[in-house]
Chain A
Amino acid sequence: MSNKIRVLVAKPGLDGHDRGAKVVVRGLRDLGMEVIYLGLRVTPEQIVEATIQEDVNVVGLSCLSGAHMSLFPKTMELLRAKGLKDVLVVAGGIIPEKDIPKLKEAGIAEVFGPGTPIDTIAKVITTKTGGGAK
């Protein structure tokens, strides 16, 4: 197994705004990470399933429809229920500031708003996963 950081990027819910998610996928790949893009309209259950199947260190969730407060914590809950406590979960999208503390409480490590450079996302991931060796 290589020590590349493995990232799963997914868009839970019905939201179709995928520009940010796609750009992040490509940017992280260019920075040397292995990134699996699960795509649109996936359920929290499917995300957890893919997290196990793909054996990733990091899950990135994106949502711009306003449904994050039910979809993100639900995903966290299911990940925990499967015992996936070591997986780093980060999120992005249109997330009002006041929701961020609640998301962090639910276990989301970081929330990246619009305008975040890809470098910043990569640094957070690298630091928090300890470089990704697995």
Chain B
Amino acid sequence: MAEKKAEQGSERKPEFKTTVGGIPIKRVYGPADCAAADAAKDLAAPGEYPFTRNIMPSGYRGRLWTMRQYAGFATVEETNERFKYLYKNGQTGFSVAFHLPTQEGYDSDHPLSAGEVGKCGVAIDSLQDMERLWEGIPLGDVSTSMTINATAPVVLAMYIAAAEKQGVERKKLNGTVQNDILKEYIARNTYIFGPAPSMRLVTDICSFCAQELPQWNSISISGYHMREAGATAAQEAAFTLANGIAYVQAMIDRGMEVDSFAPRFSFFFAAYTNVLEEAAKYRALRRIWARVMKERFGAKNPRSMMLRYHVQTDGFALTAQQPLNNIVRVTLQALAAVLGGCQSLHTNSFDEALSLPSEQAVQVALRTQQIIAEESGCADVVDPLGGSYYVESLTGEIEKRVHAYLDEIDRMGGSLKAIEKGYIQQEIANSAYEYQKAVDAGEQVIVGVNKYTTEEPHGAELLHVGEELEAKQMERLRKLRAARDGQRVTQVLTKVRSVAQSSENIMPVMIEAVEAYATLGEISDALRQAFGEYRERNVV
């Protein structure tokens, strides 16, 4: 018996069950494991439909991914400084984090904003704040990604108005607005209005951008937050594409022709430490989306079929214990993103399980990307994992699981219905709980947390955002309200309400309102009066 075991090669544990995403694992993979894949069709050359291997023929040999670090701290002045610092260090795009009141439609002096001002991002109450945020940075020369959803119409209007004040035409603006409300109901939770008016605002932005901001990504359909809430890799892929399908359908229902808006749709996914499963996920995603766009929606323009996406490394994987270990985790995650062929990447800072990131930690995070780009050699070949028996098998396995979910969601009547039923939330909550049980039982090892633990203080230098800022931002608002033309504000807010109640595109009146220095909270209140507010049911 022992002899036979040795012959087979003994293994270090009784069973290797599944990947972290629940896909069974064999000892070794061979040609038979990829037999289901029609290689000629599924694995066409990079740049060719269905783009499994890359959307571009030259991959990173043409152009590296955009190293885009999400940042936003406290006041606009501090964020402005941080942006200039990142820019000087070679960062090639900006990504703005807004504090929660801005994301949820409250001014800094609203009672619900107490304690939150400047904490998770920059406080933007009015166009004045947006103008100061970009002082000294020519908006015609940069690309900006803004993580904003429920209040996206207001914030995008502010960005356009700030650019025009700098003398930059709107058609020259380059960037992305997240504008993905469906995943807010599922995971991220910064919704304000119910699904119907929210979908109208989303598609208002998409059609406005299609006409006025030709270089702007009008939506970033995001799986990241669902993943962080507990989804597996396949669930992240499936639910994101289901939402994508819902948005495309909503645009078509508005009478838009698919190729007129789909090329400006972009995506946002997570990268976890399980390198090969993650890399396979991106490959599967590209293939499925291309086919959905061509076969289901009849897209003709190849750009409509190309899944372009941003990646952020997994925040949930960051441990408060032995925080320096996180640098290694982020490196593996970033590597997965690069091997998968992302268009842009944010690497998390190692101290983020302890607090908002410090400047040193932010620099290490950016350097991690630069080392992968310049030293690892992984960016010198397109789709370096293509043809690996295991990776091709994983790609096919994820594809299969995604299709099963998409069919199920179609049967329910689409993702909006599946969300209203709590189906997607429940699937994710179940995965989150299963994962926690596996960690608590020691089946899922997290180094420094449930194995190889130590009792040392972490000793990292942390960033602290003080409470004094709240008073400062409130004072700023008070002065603004005293100085602006109050009558003009009242008139424009009335107009916002009436446009909201009509079927007219909301964006022109949004720009008018921010230019009158109506605040984000006031504009959001006008929309609340027109649309009402949404209350979610708790799915545990």
Using CB atoms and an 8 Å cutoff, list the residues of chain A in contact with chain B.
13-19, 22-23, 25-27, 37, 39-41, 43, 65-71, 74, 94, 96-98, 113-115, 117-119
Q: How far is the CA of A26 from the CA of B356 in the complex (A)?
A: 28
Kindly identify which residue among B116, B318, B320 contacts A67, using a CB–CB cutoff of 8 Å: B116
How far is the CB of B537 from the nearest CB of chain A, in Å?
A: 9
B contact residues around A41 at 8 Å (CB): 104, 112, 189
How far is the CB of A58 from the nearest CB of chain B, in Å?
A: 17
Q: Is the interface of B mostly helix, strand, loop or mixed?
A: loop
Tell me the residues in window 442-472 of chain B with beta carbons closer than 8 Å to chain A beta carbons. Answer: 446, 449-450, 457-458, 462, 464-465, 467
Tell me if B354 counts as interface (CB < 8 A to partner A). Answer: yes
- How many A-B residue contacts, CB cutoff 8 Å? 111
From known contacts A13-B100, A39-B538, infer whether A18 and B116 are also in contact, taking CB-CB under 8 Å. no
The residue in chain A whose Cβ has the minimal distance to the Cβ of B321 is: A115
3 closest cross-chain pairs (CB), A and B: A16-B189, A70-B115, A67-B115
**22 residue pairs bridging A and B, Cβ less than 8 Å apart:** A14-B103, A14-B190, A15-B116, A22-B540, A23-B436, A37-B538, A40-B189, A41-B189, A65-B100, A65-B116, A65-B120, A66-B116, A66-B355, A71-B114, A74-B114, A94-B352, A94-B355, A96-B355, A113-B353, A114-B318, A115-B321, A117-B440
The residue in chain A whose Cβ has the minimal distance to the Cβ of B466 is: A69
B354 close to A26 (CB less than 8 A): no
A27 close to B433 (CB less than 8 A): yes
A contact residues around B540 at 8 Å (CB): 22, 25-26, 37
The residue in chain A whose Cβ has the minimal distance to the Cβ of B457 is: A97
Tell me if B316 counts as interface (CB < 8 A to partner A). Answer: yes
Tell me if B41 counts as interface (CB < 8 A to partner A). Answer: no
Q: Is the interface of A mostly helix, strand, loop or mixed?
A: mixed
The residue in chain B whose Cβ has the minimal distance to the Cβ of A45 is: B111
Kindly identify which residue among B115, B184, B228 contacts A13, using a CB–CB cutoff of 8 Å: B115
Tell me if B135 counts as interface (CB < 8 A to partner A). Answer: no
Tell me if B229 counts as interface (CB < 8 A to partner A). Answer: yes
Tell me if B287 counts as interface (CB < 8 A to partner A). Answer: no
Using CB atoms and an 8 Å cutoff, list the residues of chain B in contact with chain A.
100-101, 103-104, 106, 111-116, 119-120, 184, 187-190, 228-230, 316, 318-321, 352-356, 429, 432-433, 436-437, 439-440, 446, 449-450, 457-458, 462, 464-465, 467, 536, 538, 540
A16 close to B115 (CB less than 8 A): no
B229 close to A19 (CB less than 8 A): yes
B353 close to A43 (CB less than 8 A): no
Q: How far is the CA of A119 from the CA of B439 in the complex (A)?
A: 12
The residue in chain B whose Cβ has the minimal distance to the Cβ of A9 is: B540
Q: How far is the CA of A117 from the CA of B450 in the complex (A)?
A: 9
B119 close to A67 (CB less than 8 A): yes
A16 close to B319 (CB less than 8 A): no
B contact residues around A117 at 8 Å (CB): 439-440, 450
A70 close to B462 (CB less than 8 A): no
From known contacts A19-B230, A41-B112, A43-B112, infer whether A69 and B433 are also in contact, taking CB-CB under 8 Å. no
Q: How far is the CA of A14 from the CA of B433 in the complex (A)?
A: 23
How far is the CB of A29 from the nearest CB of chain B, in Å?
A: 8
The residue in chain B whose Cβ has the minimal distance to the Cβ of A113 is: B320
Q: How far is the CA of A115 from the CA of B228 in the complex (A)?
A: 15
